[in-house]
Chain A
């Protein structure tokens, strides 16, 4: 493989990896803090994409659509949390899987009713739709570089939020001992709703960023949801740091798998990777420290 192709594939893998990270970060945060397996995370991804696509048609601006759609997705996420998911935190995983599976059915059908079964396509603004020359012989789409930048920025922001702010401290405290934090006078319900909103924002953002790369359609959240689960299981459930490294690993491995392996095997590649990691380290690569 020549170096230009190699570098292109590394960038593709990185871009896919940070998309996965945006999904996986919310998923692993919600699991780590609230102990909730949220299958409906993919629905928030889909809703984010649909809201952004609609707002882009209304406002004519991609950037404005994203900045308007994120708060809407957060509101939607918090609404879902308050109405349904809040009651599931103390249930076993099976109940959570089932109720959030019900949410998937609901959202898929809702989208089909409101937006119709046809796929939407989001156009990129001029300044994002061209290619940029990184060095001679290698040109790369600006938009994909922007995604990588946004993903890395969000990762750094999340790290700062969780480890260096008061809210982050409360989130970490809530993850290790809910009753204690509650007894110290922190409104844990509100905290959980906020964490869910944060997760929804990340999922929605991932959906919006994916909009111009692939079509916005019913059920678009499910394949990436399952990949995000693979990521958080490889990274260690509850660990944002683990999610980041696992997301990049999965993104790069999947991209190279598609180039190097025969098609049938390529789709299986990351699942084989996951099975291998779990056989080697059943708790994932970076298990979250629990006290």
Chain B
């Protein structure tokens, strides 16, 4: 057994058994970590594999959360309905946003996705039925097939872990498929792919929309975890936070964003125990990671082979 396989097994074992030995506080902390890992994973699909630097991913995260809140207002609380609906709503929002944003490139793409997310943020702040800018409390977590089992924090942890695992496998399948390879080709040289006869636009848009679905699912999970929705889900710092996880962990890898989410949130937790001014440490740390640790934490891990998805 190589060290790499061994470390993955330890990693998976740790997360599989965590609720069995951890207290409620840590179970909930790691539930949040898993949800953010899902958000980071979805963002990496767009940024790392698709080469589209989206600075507005919070819009889809928030859409998922608000969809959960809206359905609960109408008495629909079954996760089997709500969560796919949250993902679907995010896809519906992502389709026009992506279709318009993809007309631009580079810095313009970053800015227009940010602008759309801001639009969504102000739209959510104006929704009086959902408490406007104060947000709204949810009454209870979603049920599964009518049973209120997610009330238990350990069961909800496994629901989040299962969602992340499913999304991880989906992304793995996707990035290794013909679709994923074409996407990688577009990221490296869009003109060349066009010359080869690929219509690049539909591929990029599809990637954008799939990614939004996963972000929407993460939003629904987060609304369930905190039992609270507010425009802060859509705030631009949320998009920035998710980007940090992706870069910290390793852009263009699947394990990277998950690792990034775990490390960043644990770091925030630990630093905030020492001082309330933990951001004064985190900020410069981030700059150092960008300057000196290219490829992120995942790049420090022993590699089987060089990932084909590296930054251009």
Q: Is A102 an interface residue (CB 8 A)?
A: yes
Decide: B112 and A101 in contact? CB cutoff 8 A.
Answer: no
Least CB distance, B123 to chain A, in whole angstroms: 6
Query: How many residues on B have C-beta within 8 angstroms of the other chain's C-beta atoms?
Result: 43
Given A99-B291, A101-B244, does the pair A275, B284 have CB atoms closer than 8 Å? no
B69 to chain A, nearest CB (A): 17
Contact, CB under 8 Å: B104 / A99 = no
Is there contact, CB below 8 Å, between A102 and B280?
Answer: no
A98 at the interface (CB under 8 A from B): yes
Considering only CB atoms and an 8 Å cut-off, how many residues of chain A contact the other chain?
A: 45
Check if A112 is an interface residue, CB within 8 A of chain B. Answer: yes
Is A45 on the interface with B (CB-CB < 8 A)?
Answer: no
Query: What are the residues of chain B within 8 A of A107 when measuring CB–CB?
Result: 283
Distance A91 CA – B100 CA, assembled complex (angstroms): 26
Contacts of B305 in A (CB 8 A): none
Complex formed: what's the CA distance from A45 to B277 in Å? 21
CB distance from B252 to the nearest CB of A (A): 11
Is chain A's binding surface mostly helix, strand, loop or mixed? helix
Chain A nearest Cβ from B295, distance in angstroms: 12
For chain B, what secondary structure do more than half of its interface residues adopt (helix, strand, loop), or is it mixed? Answer: helix
Interface flag for A176 (CB, 8 Å): no
Q: What residues on B are CB-neighbors of A109 within 8 Å?
A: 277-280, 283
CA distance A104 to B283 in the complex (A): 7
Q: Is B218 an interface residue (CB 8 A)?
A: no
- Contact: B107 with A98, CB < 8 Å? no
CA–CA, A234 and B47, complex, Å: 24
| Cα separation A268 to B123 with both chains bound (whole Å) | 7
Minimum Cβ distance to chain B for residue A183 (Å) = 27
Question: Are A113 and B287 in contact (CB-based, < 8 A)?
Answer: no
Given A94-B247, A264-B122 in contact, is the A102-B107 Cβ separation under 8 Å? no
Most buried by A among B116, B122, B243: B122
B103 at the interface (CB under 8 A from A): yes
6 contacting pairs across A/B (C-beta < 8 A): A97-B55, A98-B243, A99-B291, A102-B285, A233-B112, A275-B112
Query: Footprint of B on A, CB under 8 Å?
Result: 31, 37, 84, 87-88, 91-95, 97-99, 101-110, 112-113, 222, 226, 229-230, 233, 237, 263-265, 267-268, 271-272, 274-275, 278-279, 282-284
Add 4 more A-B contacts to A108-B279, A278-B103 (CB < 8 A): A94-B251, A97-B55, A271-B119, A274-B115
